[in-house]
Amino acid sequence: MTQGKRRMWAGLGLAAVVGAILYLAVGSLENNMVYFLTPAELQARAAEVEGQPVRLGGMVQTGSVDWKPEEPLLRFSVGDGDSAVKVRTTSAPPSMFQEGQGVVVEGRYGSDGVFRADRLMVKHSNEYKPPEDSEMPAEMYESISEKSEKGSGSGSEGSTGPSPGSP
């Protein structure tokens, strides 16, 4: 075999190896990419995605949260500014879950216009802000605990029922 043929076969072999690596890399990226629909997109594609597993992302609308831990049942609305979708789940909300917070829910959209979520994820910032010189970490923890106690309705009087505007 001449030296020119060896170079040609080596080049073809190298191109095949590089092509295979690129194919595997791009293929695995596409399979691992997870997209979510906004409420407006979900409503526009309602017939197409009805009953299919899908992710919905948006902001928890103010005044829409109704959490009944004794059942357990959590209802709220996810909005994107243009439209909103009612969400229902039997999962307990994550500790960072609150009105005005970004969320992504996984589940199925029903013919009744309610999204039944199997999984609830809270979107949050990666930005760390250390306490100011005048702030003590213990005081910050107390204020966070007070907020979560007020929001959970776990006072001694018990729950007074759904909040106004709840679905």
Are 50 and 26 members of one domain? no
CA distance 166 to 90: 16
Q: Other CB atoms closer than 10 Å to residue 35's CB: what's the count?
A: 8
Residue 29: enclosing H or E segment and its boundaries? Answer: helix 3-32
The mean per-residue pLDDT over the stretch 20-37 comes to 72
pLDDT number for residue 60: 94
Cα 75 from chain centroid (whole Å): 15
> Cα–Cα–Cα angle for 103, 140, 96, nearest 5°?
15
More confident residue, 4 or 155: 4
Does 59 map to a domain?
A: yes
The reply to whether the predicted model has a pTM over 0.85 is: no
The mean per-residue pLDDT over the stretch 126-152 comes to 59
Are 100 and 63 members of one domain? yes
Are 47 and 117 members of one domain? yes
The DSSP secondary-structure symbol of 37 reads B
CA distance 60 to 65: 8
- pLDDT tens digit string along 64-85? 999 998 988 999 999 998 899 9
In the chain, % of residues over pLDDT 70 = 69
Range of the domain at 21: 1-33
The mean per-residue pLDDT over the stretch 129-135 comes to 63
pLDDT number for residue 81: 85
Judge residue 60's burial from the number of C-beta atoms within 10 Å of its C-beta, 0-12 exposed, 13-18 middle, 19 or more buried: buried
Does 136 map to a domain?
A: no
Residue listed under structure tokens 């199925």: 108
Q: Other CB atoms closer than 10 Å to residue 41's CB: what's the count?
A: 18
The mean per-residue pLDDT over the stretch 131-146 comes to 60
Are 45 and 17 members of one domain? no
The DSSP secondary-structure symbol of 145 reads H
Are 29 and 54 members of one domain? no
Q: Which two tokens stand for residue 56?
A: 């919905």
Are 18 and 48 members of one domain? no
Does 85 map to a domain?
A: yes
- pLDDT tens digit string along 32-50? 555 789 999 999 999 998 9
Quick one: pLDDT band at residue 132, thresholds 50, 70, 90? low
- Tally of domains in the chain: 2
pLDDT at 135 over 80: no
Are 55 and 111 members of one domain? yes
Are 12 and 52 members of one domain? no
